[in-house]
Amino acid sequence: MKASAFDYVRPPDLAGVLDMLRQFSGAKLIAGGQSLLPLLNLRLARPTLLIDIGRTEALRAIEDRGTHVRIGAAVTHAELEDCLIPDCPMLRTVAGGIAYRAIRNRGTVGGSLAHADPAADWPLAMAALGATVVVEGKAGHRRLPADGFMLGAFQTRLEEDELVVAVDVPKLSPDARYGYYKFCRKTGEFPEASAAAVFDPFSRTARLYLGALSGPPQPLHDLAATIARQGLAAIADVAIADAVDRVAAGDSIERRMRCAAVTRALKEVFAE
Ligand SMILES: Cc1cc2nc3c(=O)[nH]c(=O)nc-3n(C[C@H](O)[C@H](O)[C@H](O)COP(=O)(O)OP(=O)(O)OC[C@H]3O[C@@H](n4cnc5c(N)ncnc54)[C@H](O)[C@@H]3O)c2cc1C
């Protein structure tokens, strides 16, 4: 199938993008197009206007802001894969595991968060990292925790006239440990189960999330807190299964994959 007819604009700057969003209610943003283009071709999305933000300069920077790193919404997965940010090494790990290079060259962090596919990597990773999504719209500027930004499958807290402009990712201390694990049937496919863990004794952070569910990533707060107190001793199969059962229903295969994803993410945390 072919997409239905639409107009296309590439405003010169962010102010122009916001103006266009305000003026045209049938408009849709396009960043890397890796999710939107298939939806257009299947006519599951029929915008009258596409506003291209893929090259908007204000959305393309990776900046060190002291306590955190600000990643522009239109930064691609490949750019994060190629850029070693010493205080946020998990960004590179996660970026490098998304699909394959051709997708990573185009797909963007902001597009991934806004699209809110439950199996996507950034909603899970950013929740575990304690990141903040920065959005702009008619009502001005809003800062929303990544945990809770996604409301459900393909649903977020973004208003019609808002866009994601950046994500603020807190820096980790040198003693921080993280783990990220996902089960994919083959390279380049979305995962069947995924988990992310971040432990930082300096900031007293203990975050463990389960992803690839039917909705947003789910926190396993109690298990994370117990592991932060007791270390490896708290990582028992029964404790992990109990934590997974509390946040996700599923058949025995889904349950086993989810438990294994959590176990493997935690093993990465404690790897020598
Ligand atoms: C074959 C294939 C395999 C993939 N595998 C994975 C995978 O393993 N893991 C993974 O995480 N992802 C995967 N993806 C998704 C991909 O990595 C992109 O992250 C994703 O397509 C969205 O980014 P994009 O920039 O292409 O967004 P687009 O397709 O341009 O846009 C997607 C949606 O987000 C909106 N949007 C875009 N940018 C913004 C913004 N700044 N503010 C508000 N709304 C915005 C658009 O209007 C649209 O509704 C895969 C994609 C393909 C095609």
Q: What is the pLDDT of residue 86?
A: 85
Can you tell me the distance from the alpha carbon of 94 to that of 102, in angstroms, rounded to the nearest whole number? 16
Q: What is the pLDDT of residue 232?
A: 83
Name the band, by pLDDT with cuts 50, 70 and 90, for residue 248. Answer: very high
Q: Is the pLDDT of residue 190 over 90?
A: no
Q: Which of 194, 219, 216 is nearest to 208 (CA)?
A: 219
**Pair 125, 180: CB distance under 8 Å:** yes
Q: 7-52 has which CATH code?
A: 3.30.43.10
**Pair 45, 36: CB distance under 8 Å:** yes
Can you tell me the distance from the alpha carbon of 267 to that of 181, in angstroms, rounded to the nearest whole number? 10
Name the band, by pLDDT with cuts 50, 70 and 90, for residue 39. Answer: very high
Please name the fold of domain 57-170: 3.30.465
Q: Which residue has the higher pLDDT, 42 or 234?
A: 42
CA-nearest residue, atom 39 of ligand 1: 111
Q: Radius of gyration of the chain from Cα atoms?
A: 19
Residues of the chain with pLDDT > 90: what percent?
Answer: 90
User: 109 alpha carbon to ligand 1 midpoint, in Å?
Assistant: 8
Name the band, by pLDDT with cuts 50, 70 and 90, for residue 183. Answer: very high
Q: What is the pLDDT of residue 84?
A: 84
CA-nearest residue, atom 17 of ligand 1: 107
User: 259 alpha carbon to ligand 1 midpoint, in Å?
Assistant: 27
**135 phi and psi, to 5 degrees?**
-125, 155
Question: How many CA within 13 A on the CB side of residue 266?
Answer: 27
Residue range 103-133, pLDDT digits in tens: 999 999 999 999 999 999 999 999 999 999 9
User: 232 alpha carbon to ligand 1 midpoint, in Å?
Assistant: 36
Domain layout of the chain by residue ranges: 7-52, 57-170, 177-269
Q: Is the pLDDT of residue 240 over 90?
A: yes
Can you tell me the distance from the alpha carbon of 150 to that of 21, in angstroms, rounded to the nearest whole number? 21
Is 111 touching ligand 1 by the criterion CB < 6 Å? yes
Q: What is the pLDDT of residue 40?
A: 96
DSSP bridge pairs for 50: 8, 28
Q: Is the pLDDT of residue 12 over 90?
A: yes
Is 76 touching ligand 1 by the criterion CB < 6 Å? no
Residue range 203-214, pLDDT digits in tens: 999 999 999 999
Domain 7-52 identical in fold to domain 57-170:
no
Q: Is the pLDDT of residue 21 over 90?
A: yes
Q: Is the pLDDT of residue 149 over 80?
A: yes
The mean pLDDT of 160-184, rounded to a whole number, is: 96
Residue range 50-90, pLDDT digits in tens: 999 999 999 999 999 999 999 999 999 999 999 988 899 99
Q: Which of 242, 178, 254, 157 is nearest to 212 (CA)?
A: 254
Question: Mean of the per-residue pLDDT values for the chain?
Answer: 95
Q: What is the pLDDT of residue 132?
A: 98
Please name the fold of domain 177-269: Enolase-like; domain 1 (3.30.390)
User: 213 alpha carbon to ligand 1 midpoint, in Å?
Assistant: 18
